[in-house]
Structure 1
Amino acid sequence: MALADLERDAHGYLVNLNEWNEDIAQEIAAEEGIELTADSFKLINFLRDEYINNNANQPNERNMVKGLKADWDGKLGTKELYSLFPKGPAKQAGKVAGLPETRRKGGY
């Protein structure tokens, strides 16, 4: 199924997170003007796991860094997360991950 066939909210977030897959992530990322890397998918998969398996948790950037440090090659801080998702790792990575829009404060 292509992204165009999926229901999305007014801000472009998927309505049904179960319709997400890596091809859909690539399409959303292209819309966002970013290219996904192996590190991008580490963050995306971490966010999906937190949301799906931890009571719809949407971690802030500090907790993303803490949760990913063990699996990350090289230095990891919020700067590295922003280099992957310049409009904000919580909102933009969450969108690419097929999750609902976070209600956390911060621009996008």
Structure 2
Amino acid sequence: MAYEFEGKEIESTATGYLVNPEDWSRELAEHIASLDGVTLGPRHWDVIDYLREEFFENNQSTPNTRTIIKAMSDKWGERVEQKTLYDLFPLDPSKQGGRIAGVAESRRKGGY
């Protein structure tokens, strides 16, 4: 599988995760999100930035939804519900969010 983006073919896995993390850009993230029918706003970017930071600066950690809820509750200064994250990333905040963020696919079962 591959993404057609800006006249290039960006290689991805069968499930849509980037093969080469260095191919990622904010523009590509917007493109991938649009293919899922998601328009990225500030809160989406907070989650994406968090997922990228955890992956690239914390031993390739791929946080589950519970961990994302805690991190976004701290960042946004409010109690974040699981529904809030699923409203942002309906296919699963950790998996869909991670795919859009350009990090490796999680091998965990379940999202919470």
TM-score normalised by length of structure 1: 0.89
| Paired position in structure 2 for 1:2 | 5
| Paired position in structure 2 for 1:65 | 69
Per-residue CA shift, 1:27-75, capped at 9, x if unaligned?
Answer: 0001111111100000000000000000010111111111222221644
Match of 2:110, SS? coil
| Paired position in structure 2 for 1:38 | 42
Deviating runs (4+, > 4 A) in structure 1? Answer: none
- Point out the structure with the larger strand share: 2
Residues 104 and 48 of structure 1, relative CA distance in 2, 3 Å threshold = same
Match of 2:19, SS? coil
Match of 1:6, SS? strand
Unmatched tracts of structure 2, length 5 or more: none
- Point out the structure with the larger helix share: 1
Unmatched tracts of structure 1, length 5 or more: none
- Taking every aligned residue pair, what percent have the same amino acid on both sides? 39
Instruction: Answer 1 or 2: higher relative contact order, Cα 8 Å, separation at least 6.
Output: 1
- Shift of residue 87 of structure 1? 0.6
One-letter amino acid matched to 1:2: F
Query: CA RMSD for the aligned pairs?
Result: 1.9
TM-score normalised by length of structure 2: 0.86
